Amino acid sequence: MGSKTLDTTEIVMTQILAITASPMPDTSVTNQLVTQFVDGWTASHPQTETTWRDVGVNPPPHIDAETIGAFYTPEDSRTDEQKTVISLSETLVAELERADVLVIGSPMHNFTISSGLKTWIDQVTRVGRTFQYTDVGPRGLLEGKKVFVLTARGGDYSENGPVPHLDHQAPYLRTALGFIGLDDVTFVHAQGVAKGDDGRQAAEREIERLLAGPSDRAAA
């Protein structure tokens, strides 16, 4: 679980980008956690605007040679065909640039992230848009945003669990998000959801704690 708390009084007007990544929305624990987070935030900030992006049911396409070529072509030199090829990527990047808070629901699939979330990351990791090369290496351009990653795992992959070394989900997401400048990341893990409700309920309590106001936390 994340150890930080979120002081929601710090932000008055908020743009939230909520990303769900489960191909099974009717039973998805992560979709439920994302909804809980967004509902909890907007309850205290009714002026919040939320953009929903479901990459589980409607995953972005895999990038191909044409897409990569368009990414690396200067904007003023792109053909009409190249502009069409990356039109969805342009929309996804714009959603991400506009957001103050990013909430990602990430089910663990085969020890890592779902394929839909991976294609979203591929579509928004854009040279000159979300990162740039410098003399000291690549630098992310999406700085100053808060990110909350809400995961669900069938087993227990926590540090005190039996197989923490098999968790390639959280390390990958921390690296991929940090590469584009999203380094203020809080993880909330629902562990062992295949074995009962304890892990999901613990994650729900952690989200409530993160969203609690300062006075609520002091009284807790």
At residue 45, the pLDDT reads 85
Look up residue 33 and give its two tokens.
């956690």
Residue 7 has pLDDT above 70, yes or no: no
188, 144 in Cβ contact below 8 A? no
Average pLDDT, integer, range 153-161:
96
Read off the pLDDT of residues 29-76 as tens digits, 9 standing for 90 and up: 999 999 999 999 999 888 899 999 999 999 999 999 999 999 999 999
Tokens 């072509």 found at: 73
Band of residue 215 on the pLDDT scale cut at 50, 70, 90: very low
Can you tell me the distance from the alpha carbon of 176 to that of 131, in angstroms, rounded to the nearest whole number? 11
CATH superfamily label, 8-219? Flavodoxin domain (3.40.50.360)
pLDDT in tens, 68-98: 999 999 999 999 999 999 999 999 999 999 9
Alpha-carbon distance of 36 to 59, in angstroms, equals 22
What confidence score (pLDDT) does residue 4 get?
55
Does residue 25 register a pLDDT over 90?
yes
Select the more confidently predicted residue: 13 or 177.
Answer: 177
3-state secondary structure 104-163: EEEECECCECCHHHHHHHHHHCCECCCEEEECCEEEECCCCCEEEEEEECCCCCCCCCCC
User: Quick check: 56 and 116 in contact, CB under 8 A?
Assistant: yes
pLDDT in tens, 99-141: 999 999 999 999 999 999 999 999 999 999 999 999 999 999 9
Q: Between β-strands 185-190 and 15-20, what pairing exists: parallel, antiparallel or unpaired? A: unpaired
Is the pTM of the predicted complex or chain greater than 0.85?
A: yes
Which tens digits make up the pLDDT trace of 168-203?
999 999 999 999 999 999 999 999 999 999 999 999
In the chain, where the domains are located: 8-219
φ/ψ of residue 49, rounded to 5: -110, 130
